[in-house]
Structure 1
Amino acid sequence: MQVPASFTYERAHSVEEAVALLERYGPDARLLAGGHSLLPMMKLRLARPETLIDINDLAELDSIRLVPGRGPDALGADGDELAIGAMTRHATVLDSALLAEHYRIFAEAERVIADPLVRNRGTVGGSLCQADPAEDLSGVFAALKGRAVIRSAGGTRTVPLREFHRGPYETVVGDAEILLEVRVPVRPGAGSAYEKVERRAGDWAVAAAGAFVQLRDGVVVDAGIGLSAVGAEHFTCPEAEDVLRGREPTAASIAEAAAICRDRCEPTADQRGPVDFKRHLTEVLVTRALTRSARRAEGGQA
């Protein structure tokens, strides 16, 4: 029988209380949201927190909304941002009309995350903070160049999602901090897509790629690529994005970007396949995601 080690249980009723409990119990405390990653690790005793702080009552972190951002930028963003609360369930993201209006990548990624039971309980913040190298939403937010909003007793700070993960199962969120939400800029003229290969429905990815392409007069003014399960640093490949900007999204330019992703990723051989196979998949999936993103941008679709 798999039984976790003993622990103290606390339930927070506000963000402030959650932060105070984290400060009280120190680095051996863990936040409990959906629990689909933490609880199995506790049963196997791969994780042995001394205190669990349940944050399921924090309704203020369960929302998807359009908010004023940091102002218009040179790429034509209107300054608005999509704010997705850390306690938002995967199923809510999947069904959100607001997210679908701006980025279809969200629904396409959520549709292939685990199964309905997990999606109904698992949370956006839990997935990002677990920092699993094969996690889908980490690749999505890296592609979209989102930023994390983090709270501590000293105030609030923001961190680009491309700097959020320090490595496998490690993030920049401190011992007495909590992820509040993730923000993604609204980009007029952008299309997005997500591609994933898995051994069976609901499995971790063998390889996955997400992308957005923003066009102006048929030319790429901005692009983002997110990669999961293939050892890409910070879940992305900025060198590939650089070759797309200022060019039309032709088959040749997309193939060049996909080849760079293939060469820059660092997959490991495991039961899901050898390294060469995963590199090949990366190239194929990036090509598909960029191609579909460009077509959607050209057609005025998200």
Structure 2
Amino acid sequence: MRPVEFDYTAPTSVEDVLRALADSDDATIMGGGQSLMPVLRMRMADPGLLVDLRRVPELQQVREDGDHLVIGAMTTHHAVAHDALVAEHAGVLGQAAARVGDPQIRYRGTTGGALAHADPAGDIAPAVLALDGVIEVSGPTGARTVPAAEFFRGPFTTALDEGEVVTAIRLPKHTGWGMRYEKFSHVAQSWAIVAVAAAVRVEDGVIARVRLGMANMGQTPLRAEAAEAALTGASLEAQSLHEAAARAGEGTSPAVDPAGTAEYRRHLAGVLSGRAVTAAAGVGG
């Protein structure tokens, strides 16, 4: 099936993007197009105007800003997975980006597009949550920031208002932290049945700080707060870390579908959290 007819524009600045959105009553933004194009082909969306972000250079940068790392919304998954600054300061995001789909999708799909798409099973959001990231947004009333924990409102629903666009992801530098992304899926290219992103700070032989982001454990990406609380202050002993991490699924309401029951996903979240935390902390087993 072919998409319905629409107008097309490819602005070269964020200001021109916002102007195009403001001038149209029926505009749709395209990042890498990996989620949008199938929807257009199936005529599940029929925009009057398609606003392509691929020619906006300022949206494609990875840069340092003091104690933060700023990743432009149009930075591809491939670029994030291979960026030296990401590896040094936000390694779990690079690991997650390397697990998105297949190479073709990673070369075209974008970090900001994945967050704006807000699929609860997506790979990028759990890593951004684990890194305590903030989403930078521009719109008709100016620029604003939204903490990642508040950005996701439901399946494929975000805090973006009409006429707004994600411009960057701002992450506190986690230099020296241990990090690990664990994903379980039926085949390598598929969505996660469950995924866990771990960021761990070890001090004086114990887990001083830990954050765990999870995919496909509810209506939105989630933090594993019960496991985080149980792990904080824990000694670096594999069995005790696995026991504490097993609480990752507490308080969650994961989907029930052919891939697994809610009980199965909660168990799997605990197993993956244990693997992620022990690996991030440098503990064998």
1:62 and 1:189 map into 2 onto residues whose CA distance is 26
- What is the CA–CA distance in structure 2 between the aligned matches of 1:256 and 1:23, rounded to whole Å? 52
Letter aligned with residue 136 of structure 1: D
Distance 1:100 1:159, change over 3 A: same
| CA-to-aligned-CA distance 1:221-265 (integer Å, 9 cap, x gap) | 321101112216542222322232334344355334423222222
Residue 40 of structure 2 corresponds to 42
Aligned to 2:53: 55
Asked whether the equivalents of residues 189 and 215 of structure 1 are also in contact (C-alpha less than 8 Å), the reply is: no
Query: d(CA) in 2 for partners of 1:56 and 1:159?
Result: 23
Aligned to 1:14: 13
TM-score by length of 2: 0.93
The RMSD of aligned alpha carbons is 1.9
TM superposition score normalised by structure 1: 0.88
What is the identity, as a one-letter code, of the residue corresponding to 2:13?
S
Aligned amino acid, residue 59 of structure 1: P
Count of residue pairs brought into register by the alignment: 284
| Equivalent residue, structure 2, for 1:193 | 180
1:248 is paired with a residue of what secondary structure?
coil
Structure 2: runs of 5 or more not aligned = none
User: Which of 264, 271, 288 is 2:258 aligned to?
Assistant: 271
CA distance in 2 between counterparts of 1:188 and 1:112 reads: 22
Aligned to 1:289: 276
**1:169-201 Cα deviation digits (max 9, x unpaired):** 011111111111101111344110000111111
The 8 Å contact of residues 189 and 216 in structure 1, kept in 2 or not, is answered as: no
Instruction: Report % sequence identity.
Output: 37
SS of residue paired to 1:264: coil
CA distance in 1, matches of 2:174, 2:92: 13
Query: Is 2:168 the partner of 1:181?
Result: yes
Q: Structure 1, residues 50-95: CA drift from partner, whole Å, max 9, x if none?
A: 2211111101110111111xxxxxxxxxxx1111110001110111
1:238 is aligned to 2:225: yes
Is 1:3 aligned to 2:2, yes or no?
yes
- Return the alpha-carbon distance in structure 2 between the equivalents of residues 36 and 237 of structure 1: 29
What is aligned with 2:63? 65
* Distance apart, 1:129 and its partner CA: 0.4
Change (3 A) 1:264 1:258: farther
User: What's the secondary structure of 1:41's corresponding residue?
Assistant: helix
Q: 1:7 to 1:253 in 2, by over 3 A?
A: farther
- What residue number does 1:75 align with? none
> Hey, what does 2:155 align to over in structure 1?
168
CA distance in 2, matches of 1:61, 1:266: 35
1:107-118 equivalences under 5 Å are: 107-118=94-105
- Equivalent position of 1:144 in the other structure: 131
- Output the amino acid matched with 1:108: Q
- Whether the 8 Å contact between 1:196 and 1:205 is mirrored in structure 2 is yes
Conserved? CA contact 1:220–1:245, under 8 Å: yes
Contact map agreement 2:121 2:221 (CA 8 A) in 1: no
Aligned residue runs from structure 1 range 254-269, under 5 A = 254-269=241-256
Deviations 1:72-131 (CA, angstroms, capped at 9, x unpaired): xxxxxxxx1111110001110111111112233133212221111111111111111000
Secondary structure in 2 matching 1:30: strand
Given that 2:224 and 2:249 are in contact with CA atoms closer than 8 Å, whether structure 1 keeps it comes out as: no
Matches within 5 A, 1:114-125: 114-125=101-112
Q: Distance in 2 between matches of 1:117 and 1:132?
A: 19
Q: Tell me, in whole angstroms, the C-alpha distance in 1 between the residues paired with 2:144 and 2:238.
A: 40
In structure 1, distance between residues paired with 2:201 and 2:244? 15
2:222 & 2:132 partners in 1: Cα distance? 11
Q: Please tell me whether the aligned partners of residues 77 and 98 of structure 2 are also in contact (alpha carbons under 8 angstroms).
A: no
Equivalent in the alignment of 1:24: 23
